Amino acid sequence: MSKTLAVRDHHPNWQKLYADAVSDPAELLRLLDLEPELANGMDDAQRQFSLRVPRGFIARMEPGNRHDPLLLQVLPLPQETALQPTQFIDDPVDDHAAMLAPGLLQKYSGRALLVATGACAINCRYCFRRHFPYADANAASANWGPALEQLAGDRDITEVILSGGDPLVLSDRRLRALTDHLRELPHIRTLRIHTRMPIVLPERIDEGLLEWLTGLHQQIVVVLHGNHPAEFDANVDRACGALRGVGATLLNQSVLLRRINDRADTLIALSRRLFEAQVLPYYLHALDPVRGAAHFDVPDGKARSLVEQMRRALPGYLVPTLVRETPGEPNKTPL
């Protein structure tokens, strides 16, 4: 690594913005000119799963609107600690059963997922891994050794998915160390990165990250996670354009969320806004039934109706596939 790159990687701007994220609900409400009384009853939810949201993402929220769709994705609410329906559990997609080595999961043929870190730039309240034991199941522990050994022994795995947490929370140096190891496994031909960073902290897509991506030998697929058109602005557009500029294929997966994007006009606007940002809609996920997120659930019948309305309004390439992840199934289940 060059001396210049090493200095840049030491304290890049995105890391300062990441460290400056808001973690106090009272501060978030104050920044949005909302009544401080709204924080009453949040303590238990905050203790179970802490608030974290970058200030740039907050800037896209509407001040004074307690129902803002971006705010509702991150604000701890008392409903999270209320009695949950029995299907809402800690591990709704059965990650534990799919673990081949610490942090290495395989559910589907030909591809495996690395839990690269437990950290995220933003804590989404509906996160299906909000109860995941990251301390015990992190592929980065032991310098990736057990996970890489497992991958080396299975030549049928041709695609590695970097997930988390959010893998782009890792520094360029740590990402490069991982992919240097993967370079020694020629059967790994595709590297897929599941990340919310280009949307919630677009400054992460900087020169150092782009240099890392440019040097990879695998095909690169970046799967973003945007749920609402208001999440996109000029900075997000620039980040997406930069990723496309180094040859990455950009897809988006959304989660269907009550009171956030469960309207046809919202989903249609999201698909159009994604296309403006050079991103293709990929999946629209039914909510994974994780404990604490039952208030986000949308009935299957309504979900199917929404997608049918999207089909009437959009070309086929802008209509995401409505799916659910069902433990034990060989693929995502279309609804």
Q: For residue range 196-217, list pLDDT tens digits in order.
A: 999 999 999 999 999 999 999 9
Q: What is the pLDDT of residue 237?
A: 98
**Is residue 2 scored above 70 in pLDDT?**
no
Please write the tens of the pLDDT for every residue from 291-307. 999 999 999 999 999 99
Joined together, the tokens standing for residue 206 give 């900087």
Compute the mean pLDDT over every residue in the chain, rounded to the nearest whole number.
94
Q: What is the pLDDT of residue 280?
A: 98
Give alpha helix (H) positions in the chain.
Answer: 3-10, 13-19, 25-31, 43-48, 55-58, 71-74, 145-152, 172-182, 197-200, 207-214, 234-245, 264-276, 300-313
Closest-CA residue to 128 (of 312, 216, 280, 253) = 253
DSSP for residue 34: -
Is 124 labeled as ligand-binding?
A: yes
CB 261 within 8 A of CB 17: no
Report how far apart, in Å, the C-alpha atoms of 269 and of each of 133, 138, 196, 228 are: 36, 37, 19, 8
The whole-angstrom separation of Cα 307 and Cα 101 is 37
The whole-angstrom separation of Cα 260 and Cα 256 is 8
The whole-angstrom separation of Cα 49 and Cα 321 is 30
Domain ranges of the chain: 3-81, 96-334
Listing from the earlier edge strand, what are the strands of the sheet with 104-105? Answer: 99-101, 104-105, 111-115, 159-163, 190-194, 219-224, 249-255, 280-285, 321-324, 333-334
The whole-angstrom separation of Cα 168 and Cα 332 is 25
Tell me the torsion sign for CA atoms 328, 226, 182, 136: negative
Cβ count within 10 A of residue 228: 21
Q: pLDDT grade, residue 142 (50/70/90)?
A: confident
**162 or 9: whose pLDDT is higher?**
162
Q: pLDDT grade, residue 136 (50/70/90)?
A: confident
**What burial class does residue 3 get, using C-beta atoms within 10 Å of its C-beta: 0-12 exposed, 13-18 middle, 19+ buried?**
exposed
High-pLDDT (> 90) share of the chain, %? 90
Is 240 labeled as ligand-binding?
A: no
Joined together, the tokens standing for residue 274 give 């994604």
Joined together, the tokens standing for residue 119 give 């950290």
**CA of residue 81 relative to chain centroid, distance:** 23
CATH number of 96-334: 3.20.20.70
Question: Pairing state of beta strands 190-194 and 159-163?
Answer: parallel
- State the SS3 of 54-104: CHHHHCCCCCCCCCCCCHHHHCCCHHHHCCCCCCCECCCCCCHHHEEECCE
Residue type, 5: L
